[in-house]
């Protein structure tokens, strides 16, 4: 009943119904379904697909996708689906890594971790159950303090093109910024990022002074050559989905490939077609 009421109250109900039909029936090509949000976890699809397009345009044959906070594992399994589709479509190999302690959320440190909403032990991962379901993704188990220090040497991943942040806590998100400070070869010049806990409801009341939003703001203030930018192209449409406001692009301005041309050669024709 709740889903029906949500649908009825939706401002763009016909668009929502059409998208549901397209998703359930797998109508059209994958990239078309991603473009209209007619895939499971469209935010994951958007990040993986567009990272793949960028990697392909720059001539990379491989890229990586990371998920911080695996919880029940459905997100990691969904990333495997999108990675398969994008790999087949673009002809690139996509590595997937999921980071989790396996023990659920740690104890919130202070008000910035929103202890009125999060509790220690939430989202504990059933590691053996998930392991048998995974076909490509690798689980990286341990605290982010430890895994961020050893990941690149231990796994030598392909350049990272997309990152899903689902730490919930400010304190964990801040520690994970270390994962953006490895050698240049480990990143595409622009990395598509999704932060799960930045919108919420009247209960969470996420804001710029706590949680993931505070971590993002502090990161941008303290880094001159790496910035998390808002994708204004998503927010400029007539129908703005909630996940548009949970998406950021990490710009590595000093990356040696940042200025490589990846746009349309015929800009005049592109403008005429709009």
pLDDT bucket at 264, cuts 50 / 70 / 90 = confident
The arithmetic mean of pLDDT across residues 185-192, rounded, is: 98
Indicate whether 237 pLDDT > 90: no
Q: Which of 7-16, 45-54, 236-245 has the lowest mean pLDDT?
A: 7-16
β-strand partners of 64: 95, 160
Instruction: Name the percent of the chain lying above pLDDT 70.
Output: 93
Phi and psi for 247 in degrees, rounded to 5? -110, 135
Residue 91: per-residue pLDDT: 97
pLDDT number for residue 273:
63
Tell me the per-residue pLDDT of 35-90, one tens digit each, with 9 for 90 and over.
Answer: 888 899 999 999 999 999 999 999 999 999 999 999 999 999 999 999 999 999 99
DSSP string, 11-53: TTHHHHHHHHHHHHHT-S-HHHHHHTT-SSSHHHHHHHHHHHH
CA–CA separation, 231 vs 248, rounded Å? 6
Please give the order of strands across the beta sheet that includes 62-68. Answer: 138-141, 93-100, 62-68, 160-165, 187-195, 247-252, 226-229
* The pLDDT value given to residue 139: 97
Average pLDDT over residues 196-217: 97
Average pLDDT of the residues of the chain: 92
The full set of domains in the chain, from first to last, is 1-39 (no CATH), 41-261 (3.40.50.150)
Instruction: List Cα–Cα distances, 188 to 80, 147, 183, in angstroms.
Output: 20, 21, 11
User: Average pLDDT of 245-259?
Assistant: 98
More confident residue, 264 or 126: 126
Give pLDDT, residue 274: 58
- The predicted pLDDT at position 7 comes to 47
* Closest to 104 measured CA to CA, from 51, 167, 150: 167
pLDDT at 231: 96
The two structure tokens encoding residue 14: 């016909």
**In terms of pLDDT, which residue wins out, 74 or 266?**
74
């Amino acid at each position: 009943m709740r889903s029906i009421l949500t649908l009825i109250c939706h401002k763009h109900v016909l668009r929502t119904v059409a998208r549901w039909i397209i998703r359930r029936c797998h109508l059209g090509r994958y990239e078309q379904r991603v473009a209209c949000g007619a895939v499971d976890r469209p935010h994951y699809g958007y990040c993986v697909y567009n990272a793949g397009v960028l990697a392909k345009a720059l001539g990379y044959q491989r890229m990586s996708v990371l998920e911080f906070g695996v919880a029940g594992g459905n997100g990691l399994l969904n990333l495997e689906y999108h990675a398969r589709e994008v790999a087949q479509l673009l002809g690139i190999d996509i590595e997937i890594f999921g980071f989790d302690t396996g023990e659920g959320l740690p104890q919130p440190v202070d008000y910035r971790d929103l202890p009125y909403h999060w509790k220690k032990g939430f989202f504990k991962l059933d590691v053996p159950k998930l392991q048998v379901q995974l076909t490509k993704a690798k689980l990286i188990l341990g605290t982010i303090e430890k895994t961020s220090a050893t990941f690149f040497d231990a796994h030598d991943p392909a350049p990272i093109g997309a990152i899903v942040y689902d730490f919930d806590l400010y304190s964990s998100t801040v520690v994970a910024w270390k994962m953006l400070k490895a050698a240049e070869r480990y990143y595409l010049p622009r990395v598509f990022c999704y932060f799960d806990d930045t919108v919420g409801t009247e209960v969470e009341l996420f804001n710029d002074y706590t949680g993931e939003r505070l971590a993002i703001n502090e990161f941008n203030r303290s880094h001159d050559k790496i910035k998390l930018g808002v994708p204004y192209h998503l927010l400029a449409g007539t129908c703005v989905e909630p996940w548009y406001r949970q998406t950021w692009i990490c710009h590595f301005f000093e990356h040696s490939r940042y200025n490589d041309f990846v746009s349309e050669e015929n800009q005049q024709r592109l403008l005429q077609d709009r």
